[in-house]
């Protein structure tokens, strides 16, 4: 798995190396942290290529049952323009891929919560390695609590809670396709799910 990733990563670096901000040594340092935490299915991306779009926020506002009920979901997240500014403050980013297949729709939340808890530890490991701006965007909504308070001020896990890329108005479909990942709309819950987390670094 690592060998297959390495080939993809080297191709991406040749294409994007002029726009990437971290040195090769710094990237290797983060690669080592990822590998030591058993993350191998990931790819680097220039933050300038992360697509932020108003239509993503509209999808949150109209059609998603978590709007206004999730402490890390809109309207508890920055405006679309502020989200765009956030990504521009970073020099590198990593997209992490997670694939899963649920037998029941409700199984998704427990699966996501387990992965998100590990992602918080990954963010801290990168932070402690000297990358003070390290920030993880979860692969799904937070999911740590059975009942979310719905507000940041009353969050039961404020140190662990993070938004998802979609909550930050990221067009995940268009963004991950730029680095060769496959993603499509699922028509049923028994189909494989492809979810993506974003680790922002500087």
Average pLDDT, the chain: 89
CB 199 within 8 A of CB 134: yes
Give the rounded percent of residues in the chain with a pLDDT score beyond 70: 90
Stated as kind and residue range, the H or E segment containing 198 is strand 193-201
Is the CB of residue 196 less than 8 Å from the CB of residue 137?
no
Number of domains into which the chain is organized = 1
Cα torsion 43, 46, 49, 50 to 10°: value is 70
Q: What is the pLDDT of residues 122-166, one digit of tens each?
A: 999 999 999 999 999 999 998 898 899 999 899 999 999 999 999
**Spatial CB neighbours of 144, under 8 Å, sequence gap ≥ 6:** 113, 116, 117, 156, 157, 160, 161
Q: What is the pTM of this model?
A: 0.87
| Confidence class for position 20, pLDDT limits 50, 70, 90 | low
1 close to 38: Cβ distance less than 8 angstroms: no
CA atoms within 13 A on the CB side of 170: 28
- Which residue is it, tokens 């990563």? 9
List the domain range (segments joined by +) for residue 167.
Answer: 2-201
């Amino acid at each position: 798995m690592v060998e297959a990733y390495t080939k993809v990563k080297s191709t991406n670096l040749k294409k994007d190396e002029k726009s990437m901000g971290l040195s090769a040594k710094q990237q290797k340092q983060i690669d080592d942290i990822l590998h030591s935490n058993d993350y191998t299915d990931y790819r680097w991306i220039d933050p300038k290529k992360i697509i932020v779009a108003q239509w993503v926020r509209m999808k949150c506002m109209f059609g998603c049952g978590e709007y206004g009920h999730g402490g890390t979901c809109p309207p508890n997240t920055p405006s679309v323009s502020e989200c765009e500014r956030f990504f521009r403050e970073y020099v590198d980013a990593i997209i992490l891929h997670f694939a899963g297949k649920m037998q029941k729709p409700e199984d998704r939340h427990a699966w996501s919560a387990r992965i998100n808890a590990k992602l918080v530890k990954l963010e801290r490991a990168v932070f402690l390695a000297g990358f003070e701006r390290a920030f993880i965007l979860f692969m799904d909504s937070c999911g740590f609590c059975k009942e979310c308070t719905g507000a940041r001020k009353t969050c039961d896990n404020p140190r662990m809670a993070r938004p998802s890329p979609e909550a930050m108005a990221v067009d995940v479909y268009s963004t991950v396709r730029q680095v060769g990942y496959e993603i499509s709309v699922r028509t049923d819950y028994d189909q494989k799910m492809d979810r993506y987390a974003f680790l922002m670094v500087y």
